[in-house]
């Protein structure tokens, strides 16, 4: 038997404490017992999101469900929105906007680059009737970190700022209240160390005011109804009870570690991975504004990224992530998000060195690992 290593940006590994919590005896979701669990979870999410109110809503959905809920609750047919499209998940904002009959203005960003604040400002001046800016904090497909804090300053007296934080919340500070983000969403299977199945939405005051004016249809994702129900201790519809048990355990683990240390761990793993890739002579996908959730690297000439990933998964039991769309076959992504630590990084880099050697790349064993170790040693000082 060979141990399996899940080093993709989602789903991510699950701690034993979380798995055991999800195995607890099922209880009814309209009971004081569940309401107590739900209240603890909501308080932990409020801290994680940096929400000034207590309304981080928990949905039985993926992160995409949280994205859709945000759109359907904030807009009316024909509303104009600016969509920052620099990757597959920027495209998802665009697709959701079109599906709901909005008028999206697309701001294309080169893959591997972060959007420039001045380009957003220029677009807003060209279209003064734009109602919101839709963007990722961490664009998972390109491993880019966008300047969300600076954009929040730009939009604070103008359009809403709606942020997909699926690989950002729990990875780095993205405080909704402090920065002035109007809507922030995430999913359970990334930094929250859970299986897929929960989506999370938090609105600021400006967004809640907009909800009352929005005219798009909504039923299951009616966040007004969810807000009232969740403030009373349960969901408007049947919640994912076992996942919420696991969420409580995950939030407790994060609280025990301390959020500042959680963020520092992610940042250190990311720097170690980038240092390793550079030492191995690999080109970074996002060298200028990299995400702390995952590192993208181009494969050397003559090495097919997808075949290398197949080899890693089938022969070495190590799962990394593929390049998507135009990056397919050209790049791979190494995750360092959620329940991961220093030695997961070393496993990923060591395995990558071996796989590249197998595919004929001129790799010197230990070069990448040594570079990563130099960075990871910081945690021992």
Query: Three-state SS across 261-291?
Result: HHHHHHHHHHHHHHHHHHHCCCCECCCCCEC
Domain that includes residue 50, residue range: 16-256
Does residue 375 share a domain with residue 354?
A: yes
Cβ–Cβ contacts within 10 Å for residue 316, how many? 18
Does residue 194 share a domain with residue 273?
A: no
Number of domains the chain is built from: 2
> Each residue of 82-94: pLDDT tens digit?
999 999 999 999 9
> Each residue of 227-258: pLDDT tens digit?
999 999 999 999 999 999 999 999 999 999 99
Does residue 177 share a domain with residue 159?
A: yes
**Token pair for 297:** 């690297």
Does residue 126 share a domain with residue 70?
A: yes
CATH number at residue 313: 3.90.1150.10
Virtual torsion, Cα 40, 205, 189, 109, nearest 10 deg: -160
pLDDT score, position 53:
78
286 has a pLDDT exceeding 70: yes
Mean pLDDT over 49-69 rounds to 94
Does residue 211 share a domain with residue 307?
A: no
Show which of 236, 256, 276 is a domain's final residue. 256
Show which of 221, 256, 291 is a domain's final residue. 256
Show which of 256, 271, 295 is a domain's final residue. 256
Does residue 68 share a domain with residue 164?
A: yes
* Cβ within 8 Å of residue 117, ≥6 positions away: 147, 150, 151, 154
Q: Is residue 6 part of a domain?
A: no
Does residue 310 share a domain with residue 300?
A: yes
Q: Is residue 10 part of a domain?
A: no
User: Whole-number mean pLDDT of the chain?
Assistant: 97
pTM equals 0.96
In this structure, the strands spanning 138-139 and 198-203 are unpaired
Q: Is residue 1 part of a domain?
A: no
> Each residue of 157-202: pLDDT tens digit?
999 999 999 999 999 999 999 999 999 999 999 999 999 999 999 9
Does residue 109 share a domain with residue 252?
A: yes
Does residue 135 share a domain with residue 174?
A: yes
Q: Is residue 3 part of a domain?
A: no
Does residue 190 share a domain with residue 89?
A: yes
54 has a pLDDT exceeding 80: no
**How many CA atoms lie within 13 Å of 209's alpha carbon, on the beta-carbon side?**
6
SS (H, E, C) 89-137: HHHHHHHHHHHCCCEEEEEECCCCCCCCHHHHHHHHHHCCCCCEEEEEC
Q: Is residue 179 part of a domain?
A: yes
The percentage of the chain sitting over the pLDDT mark of 90, rounded to a whole number, equals 97
Does residue 369 share a domain with residue 263?
A: yes
Find residue 80's DSSP bridge partners. Answer: 103
Q: Is residue 4 part of a domain?
A: no
| Dist CA 77 CA 207 (whole Å) | 17
Does residue 372 share a domain with residue 268?
A: yes
pLDDT score, position 1:
63
**Radius of gyration of the CA atoms of the chain, in A:** 21
> Each residue of 312-358: pLDDT tens digit?
999 999 999 999 999 999 999 999 999 999 999 999 999 999 999 99
Q: Is residue 275 part of a domain?
A: yes
**Token pair for 40:** 């603890």
Q: Is residue 11 part of a domain?
A: no
Backbone angles phi, psi at 47, to 5 degrees: -65, -45
Q: Does residue 179 come out as left (phi exceeding 0), alpha (psi in the -120 to 50 range) or beta?
A: alpha
Q: DSSP letters along 237-249, please?
A: S---HHHHHHHHH
């Amino acid at each position: 038997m060979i141990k399996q290593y899940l080093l993709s940006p989602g789903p991510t590994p699950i701690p034993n404490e979380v798995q055991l919590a999800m195995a607890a005896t099922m209880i009814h979701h309209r009971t004081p017992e569940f309401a107590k669990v739900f209240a603890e979870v909501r308080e932990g999410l409020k801290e994680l999101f940096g929400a000034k109110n207590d309304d981080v809503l928990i949905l039985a959905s993926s992160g995409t469900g949280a994205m859709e809920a945000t759109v359907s609750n904030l807009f009316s047919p024909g509303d104009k929105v600016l969509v920052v499209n620099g990757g597959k998940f920027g495209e998802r904002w665009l697709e959701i906007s079109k599906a709901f009959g909005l008028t999206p203005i697309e701001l294309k960003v080169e893959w591997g680059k972060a959007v420039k604040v001045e380009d957003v400002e220029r677009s807003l001046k060209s279209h003064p009737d734009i109602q919101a800016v839709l963007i990722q904090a961490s664009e998972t497909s390109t491993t880019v970190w966008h300047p969300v804090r600076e954009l929040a300053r730009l939009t604070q007296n103008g359009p809403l700022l709606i942020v997909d934080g699926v690989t950002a919340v729990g990875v780095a500070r993205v405080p909704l209240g402090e920065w002035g983000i109007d809507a922030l969403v995430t999913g359970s299977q990334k930094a929250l160390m859970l299986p897929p199945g929960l989506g999370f939405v938090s609105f600021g005051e400006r967004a809640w005011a907009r909800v009352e004016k929005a005219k798009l249809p909504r039923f299951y994702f009616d966040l007004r109804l969810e807000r009232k129900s969740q403030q009373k201790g349960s969901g408007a519809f049947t919640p994912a009870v076992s996942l919420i048990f696991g969420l409580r355990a995950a939030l407790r683990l994060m609280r025990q570690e301390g959020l500042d240390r959680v963020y520092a761990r992610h940042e250190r793993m990311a720097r170690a991975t980038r240092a390793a890739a550079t030492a191995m002579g690999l080109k970074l996908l996002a060298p200028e504004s990299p995400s702390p959730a995952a590192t993208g690297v181009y494969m050397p000439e003559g090495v097919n990224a997808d075949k290398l990933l197949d080899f890693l998964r089938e022969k070495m039991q190590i799962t990394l992530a593929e390049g998507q769309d135009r990056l397919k076959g050209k790049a791979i992504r190494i995750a360092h998000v959620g329940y991961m630590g220093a030695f997961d990084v070393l496993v990923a880099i060591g395995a990558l060195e071996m796989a590249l050697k197998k595919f004929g790349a001129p790799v010197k064993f230990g070069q990448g690992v040594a570079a990563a170790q130099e960075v990871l040693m910081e945690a021992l000082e």
